[in-house]
Structure 1
Amino acid sequence: MRWAALGLMLLAWSGLASARTSFEASCEDAARDAGATFSTRESGWRVDNTASYRDLTRMKRPGVRNGYVLGLTRTESRVAIQVDGTLLTSPDGAAECVLPRIAVTLYYQPIVVYVSREFEPDSCTYDEILAHEMRHLKSYLDYLPKVEERVRARLGGRFAGKPLYARAGESRALLQREIDRNWMPYIKAEMGRVEKLQAAIDSPTEYARLSKVCQGEVQSLIGSTRRSRS
């Protein structure tokens, strides 16, 4: 991650005076309240039994004709960052500092757990598919606190108790630019890592196991639905 713009700005400010000015002292004292807060939010989840296995296959593998998907867990990750802060101006009006207060919220869109409508609820195969999808659900929910911890360590240390200096009229824009160009992409990338965990759950071994559960009920049902459409 690059902090060149802000780094040069801070160096330039430091070079304006060999000793700390009263303005700098005011900024640094007031910056004790500067920093970032972090939270995760649950948006809930539900089970949907209305889609066919063909629908689920298209949802997960658009354009792929071979194979089938019996269950699917879908959501989208979201990052909300609110940027605020107190602004102080130097006595001569040439410079300013902003004391950042940043609030980061991590959450998912409501999670939908699909089980193919070809399988009756509480049947052997339905329960097996649902149990598999519950692993996906748990993986999503367990991952959020881990992302929060990593982001807290990086972003929290960046802004805690630190004023950001700039020429008059520029500090808020520089702060927002740093959030948009550096921190938002970083947090989104961290959130996206959960998809690797999801892919590991859908291993070839697990797919093979599910295709044979309940005395071959999956193969029998899928085969009968295919024959009925031929």
Structure 2
Amino acid sequence: MLTSGAVIHAHAATAFQQRCEQMAASSGSAARFASRANGYRIDNGISYVALTQMKRPPQQAGLVLGLTRAESRVDLQIDGPTLQDPASGIECAAPRITVTLSYPPIVVYVGREFAAGTCAYREILAHEMRHLKSYTDALPKVEEQVRERLGRRFDGKPLYARAGQARGLLQQEINGNWLPYINNEMLKIEKLQEGIDSPQEYARLSKVCAGEVQSLIGSTRRTRSSPQPAP
């Protein structure tokens, strides 16, 4: 068991506990963070039909004219000093946990049917920029929340375990508790996108620019459904 409470019962271990507490106090913040949104790129080369198929979760109704794809990454590393007390068979650790939250460059798609510079293109791109801002604004908020939770658990506190077990038990705690928690917080950012992709917003986009969007969609549908000339 890995604990921040004392598991040493012999009076002779008091000096060891004091050394552990001093080590933990001098090691600085246990949780170190870096969060990076590595920019974005715009892709105009995919049809709105393909974008509709790409959307996850799938679009239940209507068509996807643009799409913003962000893949979150969580990297969590641990290190930090340890001390052992041979008399009691106990060791203490002052863990340092480095958490990196990041997005590779986010890809913003606008259906290739909508030419750059047109009213329809500008409206669709503006909608996708709302998604982009949602992703990048949420990242530091997740960092702040996770930092506070990790700080309550680890900052300034020596963790005790049987000799040779502290690092392994800490890794188990990280893998079993903290990584799932952080990944779940990152997934909540995806939920924010649902508010942007409301039925009302899809209806609005379908009617903007004096019917330009509906006209383009209608013409491409007719082209795909019309008989093709024999070779």
TM-score by length of 1: 0.91
> Partner of 2:83: helix, strand, or coil?
strand
Moved more, 67-76 or 126-135: 67-76
Q: Which residue of 1 aligns with 2:153?
A: 158
- The runs of 5 or more residues in structure 1 that have no matched partner are none
C-alpha displacement at 1:65, in angstroms?
8.8
Q: Which amino acid aligns with 1:26?
A: R
Q: Which amino acid aligns with 1:50?
A: G
Q: 1:135-191, CA deviations, whole angstroms, 9 ceiling, x for partnerless residues?
A: 000000000011011111110221111111111110000111111111111111111
Residue pairs, 1:75-90, within 5 angstroms: 75-90=70-85
Residue pairs, 1:1-230, within 5 angstroms: 5-7=1-3, 10=5, 13-14=7-8, 16-17=9-10, 21-32=14-25, 33-34=27-28, 35-60=30-55, 67-92=62-87, 94-230=89-225
> Partner of 2:95: helix, strand, or coil?
strand
Runs (4 or more) in structure 1 with deviation over 4 Å come to: 61-66
> Partner of 1:68: helix, strand, or coil?
coil
Q: Is contact 1:23–1:91 with CA below 8 Å preserved after alignment?
A: no
Q: 1:79-128, CA deviations, whole angstroms, 9 ceiling, x for partnerless residues?
A: 11110011111143711111101111111122000000001001000000
C-alpha displacement at 1:64, in angstroms?
6.6
Q: Is contact 2:13–2:88 with CA below 8 Å preserved after alignment?
A: no
> Partner of 2:97: helix, strand, or coil?
strand
Moved more, 88-97 or 154-163: 88-97
> Partner of 1:6: helix, strand, or coil?
coil
The number of aligned residues is 223
Moved more, 220-229 or 120-129: 220-229
Percent of paired sites with the same residue = 62
Aligned counterparts of 1:99 and 1:62: Cα–Cα separation in 2: 42
> Partner of 1:121: helix, strand, or coil?
coil
> Partner of 1:194: helix, strand, or coil?
helix
> Partner of 1:181: helix, strand, or coil?
helix
- The runs of 5 or more residues in structure 2 that have no matched partner are 226-231
Aligned counterparts of 1:66 and 1:208: Cα–Cα separation in 2: 11
Aligned counterparts of 2:83 and 2:23: Cα–Cα separation in 1: 9
Q: Is contact 2:84–2:163 with CA below 8 Å preserved after alignment?
A: yes
C-alpha displacement at 1:17, in angstroms?
3.2
C-alpha displacement at 1:76, in angstroms?
1.1
Q: Closer, same or farther in 2 for the Cα pair 1:65/1:146, shift >3 Å?
A: closer
Q: Which amino acid aligns with 1:144?
A: L
Q: Is contact 1:72–1:114 with CA below 8 Å preserved after alignment?
A: yes
